[in-house]
Chain A
Amino acid sequence: MATVAPSVEQPPRAGLSAARAPMKKRVKRAIVVAVLIAFSLVFLYPFAWLLAASLKSRGQVFDNSLIPDPVMWSNYVEIWNELPLGHWMFNSISIAVLAAVLVAVSSSLVAWGFAHFEFPFRNQLFGLVLATMMLPAAVTMVPTFLIWKYLGALGTWLPLFAGNLFGSAFYIFLQRQFYLGLPRDLFEAARIDGANHWTIFWRMVMPLSMPSFIIVLLFEFQASWNNLQAALIYLNAGSAQQFTAPLGIAYAMTKYSPTAGGQADYQYVMVAALIVTLPMLLLFSFGQRFFIEGVATTGRKG
């Protein structure tokens, strides 16, 4: 975890044998690559299909052709009149940024408390942190709704991110794991030099833990971006302009579902699905190594 860097590109390991002829090895490698290419096509096909479908006319969305004819660029223009997609994206981005920053900062604070300080029942409390990861969200779903209702926050964004002010078990675990790998002497020395705990955390710990901090930010941004259920509970009652992107897609699917009296404009749903996916793909292209390393780490340390 100390180095967050892609480290997958390494020589093959399985079936490495000095006794085998290089020719045989090359054939084997070629087979592996061929299979991987086949799988890649399977994994990538839906994206190509989605892109094509988003450019088709209403009657052709179901035809599975990867080359739309005619190419309906107008779908991308009309969708802004059809659906308040701009609002959805703005709402989702705002909420995701708030959620990510809040949870990253608060979880870091808590993680540092657990990693660096000695206090009574520390290990028991940390055990409790880990135990909460096991709790199905369903158990607290209704009471949480009633708490927000009591606080008068229904219909606002607060329930979608404000809970992040208190840290999240998974990220606390992740950050603490990172902090434990930092040299303790460094902070002892800073203490002796007169730095206070806040300064140490803010000026030393945070910069040092940037890689894992970014992992938390990215993970939570993605989680928030995907969060359909919370939006259904807290925002569904509002106007369509207050929806988040996932709720918006759900709304579009209903709106255009012919059996629900909607127009079967699936091409608009596909445009919306594509537009909602793009920020995630963009995020991944910038933060790929953080995502992969983050996932790998949580699995490995688990």
Chain B
Amino acid sequence: MAKVARSPKLPRQRVRYNRREALVGLAFISPWIVGFLVFTAGAMIYSLVLSFSNYNLARNTMAYAGWANYERLFTDPKLAAALSNTLVYVILAVPAEIVVALGLALLLAAAGRGAGFFRTTFYLPKMTPSVATASMFLLLLNGNTGAINQFLGWFGIQGPQWLVDPAWIKPSIVLMTLWGVSGTMVIFLAALKNVPRELYEVASLDGAGPIRQFWNVTLPMISPVLFFNTVILSIAGFQVFDQAYLLFWRDQSGGAAGASDSSLFYAVYLFQQAFRQFKFGYAAAMAWLLFCIIMAVTAIQRAVSKRLVYYEGE
């Protein structure tokens, strides 16, 4: 994302604009301007206003609430649970996704001919709608009879109660996410192909084995992509919704699907507050908290990356 923000580097002409050209250009982008004003800027301002009010949907009234919604953020035990679950999920999921995606990409890069077949194979789960994935894994992850524990049983491992044991709920969702990890893998694969071959040849002449080549050549050369993927996956991780909703919270009254605080994720709780409880003000405050958290995490990742990421030509 850091690179994204830098990319509009067009030949800068600080000369006078051709007025007609400029108008035509503005006309072309006008759909976006309208959309931005209404659905982004307008909605953001509206959201901010909502977060300082109590909106009564049944009566269409909005009462000023001061900081009450924000204060509640700090006293709501469910919010704390949702936030900590989501953080744990991000901390588990992002490194796992990076490692698996990069590992698969390295294997594909080393496979030569035939890699295309495997790439297609790995990509199929990515095409599977999350609802289908979730409904499948609901059975695959059954603690007693699920295929995954059956598989572990072959190696004498007593598999956990994936979707019931609070300690294993987050790893269960990580597992589902990993099944669809191929998008990240393809990005890595593209990056690996862009590493100049000469570098490996030079390293090889210096007597570097495959492992040292990976650490000294591959990793620095793909570090911008590594960083990009980390940021993108983290942002997505904070907003994980579909799997958690379907596995635990699909029943509107809650409970029956086996939900508890340990399966409550931030986006799910926000959705419930907004569209099950109709606490629009609180939901808006929650959304802004999420926004701040994502911004902060991205900023930290950027700061760290400045030291670690190698940009060509810098």
- Size band of the A side of the interface? 35 or more
User: Which candidate, B73-81, B90-98, B163-171, B185-193, is the interface stretch facing chain A?
Assistant: B185-193
B35 A49 Cβ-Cβ under 8 A? no
CB distance from A274 to the nearest CB of B (A): 7
User: How far apart are the CA atoms of A39 and B246 in the complex, in Å?
Assistant: 27
Q: Counting chain B CB atoms within 10 Å of each CB, which of A33, A259, A283 scores highest?
A: A33
CB distance from B199 to the nearest CB of A (A): 10
B238 A136 Cβ-Cβ under 8 A? yes
CB distance from B241 to the nearest CB of A (A): 6
Residues of B within 8 A of A141 (CB): 270-271, 274, 283, 287
Q: Is chain A's binding surface mostly helix, strand, loop or mixed?
A: helix
A299 B200 Cβ-Cβ under 8 A? no
**Closest residue of B by beta carbon distance from A130:** B4
Interface positions, chain A 4-40, Cβ under 8 Å from B, are: 6-19, 28-29, 32-33, 35-36, 39-40
Number of B interface residues in the complex (CB < 8 A): 126
A36 B118 Cβ-Cβ under 8 A? yes
A239 sits at the interface (CB 8 A): no
Question: Which of the residues B146, B256, B274 comes within 8 Å of A260, measured between beta carbons?
Answer: B256
CB distance from A218 to the nearest CB of B (A): 10
Residues of A within 8 A of B107 (CB): 32, 35-36, 39
CB distance from B100 to the nearest CB of A (A): 9
CB contact under 8 A between A39 and B122, given known A14-B109, A141-B274: yes
B121 A260 Cβ-Cβ under 8 A? no
A7 B150 Cβ-Cβ under 8 A? no
The proximity string for A residues 252-267 relative to B, scoring 1 for CB distances below 8 Å and 0 otherwise, is 1110010111000010
A118 sits at the interface (CB 8 A): yes
Residues of B within 8 A of A250 (CB): 131, 245-246, 250
B39 sits at the interface (CB 8 A): yes
User: How far apart are the CA atoms of A135 and B114 in the complex, in Å?
Assistant: 40
User: How far apart are the CA atoms of A225 and B242 in the complex, in Å?
Assistant: 13
B251 A260 Cβ-Cβ under 8 A? yes
Question: Which of the residues A120, A125, A301 comes within 8 Å of B22, measured between beta carbons?
Answer: A120
Residues of B within 8 A of A165 (CB): 31, 35
The proximity string for B residues 244-271 relative to A, scoring 1 for CB distances below 8 Å and 0 otherwise, is 0110001100001110000000010011
CB distance from B264 to the nearest CB of A (A): 15
A222 sits at the interface (CB 8 A): yes
B21 A117 Cβ-Cβ under 8 A? yes
Q: Is chain B's binding surface mostly helix, strand, loop or mixed?
A: helix
CB contact under 8 A between A139 and B44, given known A166-B32, A228-B242: yes
B147 A49 Cβ-Cβ under 8 A? yes
User: How far apart are the CA atoms of A264 and B191 in the complex, in Å?
Assistant: 46
User: How far apart are the CA atoms of A108 and B133 in the complex, in Å?
Assistant: 32
Q: Counting chain A CB atoms within 10 Å of each CB, which of B8, B225, B238 scores highest?
A: B8
Question: Which of the residues A36, A112, A122, A274 comes within 8 Å of B108, measured between beta carbons?
Answer: A36
Question: Which of the residues A13, A62, A112, A144 comes within 8 Å of B197, measured between beta carbons?
Answer: A13
Residues of B within 8 A of A197 (CB): 24, 28
CB contact under 8 A between A12 and B131, given known A140-B40, A142-B283, A259-B257: no
B113 A226 Cβ-Cβ under 8 A? no
A-contacting residues of B (Cβ < 8 Å)? 1, 3-5, 7-8, 10, 12-13, 17-18, 21-29, 31-36, 38-40, 42-44, 46-47, 50, 104, 106-116, 118-125, 127-140, 142, 145-147, 150, 179, 183, 186-195, 197, 200-201, 204, 210, 213-214, 218, 225, 228-229, 232, 235, 238-239, 241-242, 245-246, 250-251, 256-258, 267, 270-271, 274-275, 280, 283-284, 286-288, 290-291, 294-295, 298
Closest 3 CB pairs between A and B? A166-B35, A117-B25, A113-B28
* A-B CB contact pairs (8 Å), 7 listed: A132-B40, A136-B239, A141-B283, A141-B287, A146-B280, A298-B187, A302-B1
